Amino acid sequence: MAEKKNMEFDRPGGYAMPKGAIAVQRELAFDLVAADEDTTIRLHGDQVPAHQPTKPTKALKPAHSLDDPDTRVYVGDCRDVLPNLPDAGKVDLVFADPPFNWDVPYDEWKDGMPRAEYERFTFDWLDACINVLSSTGALWVNIPDDSAAEVVMHLKRRGLTMMNWCVWHFRFGQNRKDSFIMSKVHALYFVKAPLERTWNPEAVMEPSDRATVYFDPRTLNKENNVGMRVPMDVWYGQYWGRIQGNNKERRSQHHNQIPEVYLERVIRSCSNEGDLVLDPFLGSGTTGTVARVLGRRSIGVEFSKVNAKSAFERIKQGAIRVGKEKTAAGNPIFAARKAGAATKEKFEAALKGGGGKK
Ligand SMILES: C[S@@+](CC[C@H](N)C(=O)[O-])C[C@H]1O[C@@H](n2cnc3c(N)ncnc32)[C@H](O)[C@@H]1O
């Protein structure tokens, strides 16, 4: 018997869960609170007092800026800068790639705090990001295994909803023998309002395996986006490696640079042209660079003056890979699609033309 379709179906956190079930869970949680049960989540960082943001004596000014689209780079600690921005509640997308507390020799930032202090630091900047985010906005956090759980717990206790727990998988990790080689970072996608959020699936679609690997004719029965689908939640591919050594995107003196294609996917899917994108840890400027070429306004905050200047130079130069990711090159279906074959007939002709097993 055909399964009955639930039109109210939604998948926060990547799990298939009807909205009704979520509502029931929330009610149960509220019941616990009402019954005075102790539902507090306690994390190490909660023992440390919260950071008190400094109040500037005059209006905060960016160290570097460009017009059309409005692009600003501020120098300072994001925990102090964010609460003093004139953009509270107006940021459409936050992408944050914080220091991981791994003793990385950043220009000025000391990347080796006692664990509880690092967690407190994490909660403080997360809260500052939540405060500037619009009600329809998205918050993405790039974070490794050892701190992902705390970030997730904190965002949940602040009332945000997880839409996806993505994984950025790279093939060029550091060799080691005492455990498996690390080859991933978590890309956590949270929102304030799952149903009202900005979400552009068609802007990030890629050729599906069904079309390009299995040559399954059923893909032709789709009304729209024939042969295409939204990417899966594990991200890897030609331009998705770590930005090391002779990589064309590499900015010397910067540590832990993220590939442009990663930011391209996040920005295209979770913002519209003209929207405001914020990166509290600008680093080499990947977010600002990609945001600008995609017509988004942006704010970047960077603790190091030197890094901020270098990031600004990169933003002015523009991106290298945006729009250039190779997608199933040589495949007849994708080639036909690129050539404008949007009809079933043309795709069928492309299928008959060969290019794979059926
Ligand atoms: C992991 S890197 C970001 C890399 C960036 N995503 C890229 O693609 O180049 C972290 C950056 O945050 C900066 N930073 C560290 N603590 C900061 C703070 N409290 N406020 C602002 N920037 C900070 C460091 O100087 C470093 O450049």
Ligand 1 pocket mutation, candidates 168, 258, 302, criterion most atoms within 8 A of CB: 302
Mean pLDDT, rounded, for 169-185: 86
Please tell me the distance between residue 15's alpha carbon and the centre of ligand 1 in angstroms: 32
Whether domain 23-202+231-323 has CATH 3.40.50.150: yes
Mean pLDDT, rounded, for 155-169: 95
SS3 168: strand
In the block, tokens 């459409």 appear at: 92
SS3 269: helix
| Burial group, residue 163, by CB count within 10 angstroms (0-12, 13-18, 19+) | buried
Distance of CA 339 to the CA centre of its chain: 31
Cα separation of 76 and 304, whole Å?
A: 7
Cα separation of 222 and 333, whole Å?
A: 14
Strand 133-143 versus strand 91-96 pairing type: parallel
Q: What percent of the chain has pLDDT over 70?
A: 79
Query: Is pLDDT above 60 for 10?
Result: no
Q: What is the pLDDT of residue 313?
A: 97
Please tell me the distance between residue 157's alpha carbon and the centre of ligand 1 in angstroms: 25
Q: What is the pLDDT of residue 356?
A: 37
Q: For the chain, how many residues are written?
A: 358
* Span 195-223, pLDDT tens digits: 999 999 989 988 888 877 777 777 767 77
- Spans of all domains in the chain: 23-202+231-323
The CA-based diameter of the chain, rounded to the nearest angstrom, is 71
Please tell me the distance between residue 100's alpha carbon and the centre of ligand 1 in angstroms: 10
* Residue of minimum CA distance from atom 13 in ligand 1: 281
Please tell me the distance between residue 139's alpha carbon and the centre of ligand 1 in angstroms: 16
Please tell me the distance between residue 302's alpha carbon and the centre of ligand 1 in angstroms: 6
Please tell me the distance between residue 288's alpha carbon and the centre of ligand 1 in angstroms: 13
Q: What percent of the chain has pLDDT over 90?
A: 61
Q: What is the pLDDT of residue 9?
A: 45
* Residue of minimum CA distance from atom 27 in ligand 1: 283
More reliable by pLDDT, 78 or 175:
78
Q: What is the pLDDT of residue 3?
A: 43
Ligand 1 pocket mutation, candidates 281, 299, 305, criterion most atoms within 8 A of CB: 281
Strand 17-18 versus strand 276-279 pairing type: unpaired
Average pLDDT over the chain, rounded to whole? 85
Ligand 1 atom closest to the CA of 108, numbered from 1: 25
Please tell me the distance between residue 124's alpha carbon and the centre of ligand 1 in angstroms: 15
* Residue of minimum CA distance from atom 26 in ligand 1: 283
Cα separation of 55 and 43, whole Å?
A: 28
Cα separation of 341 and 111, whole Å?
A: 52
Mean pLDDT, rounded, for 329-350: 56
Residues 6+ apart with CB under 8 A from 71: 65, 288, 291, 292, 297, 298, 315
Ligand 1 pocket mutation, candidates 84, 267, 282, 322, criterion most atoms within 8 A of CB: 282
The CA-to-CA distance between both ends of the chain, in Å, stands at 28
Please tell me the distance between residue 271's alpha carbon and the centre of ligand 1 in angstroms: 22
Show the ligand 1 pocket: residues with CB < 6 angstroms: 77-79, 97, 99, 106-107, 109, 254, 256-258, 280-281, 283-284, 286, 301-304, 307
* Residue of minimum CA distance from atom 4 in ligand 1: 283
Ligand 1 atom closest to the CA of 280, numbered from 1: 21
Cα separation of 194 and 279, whole Å?
A: 21
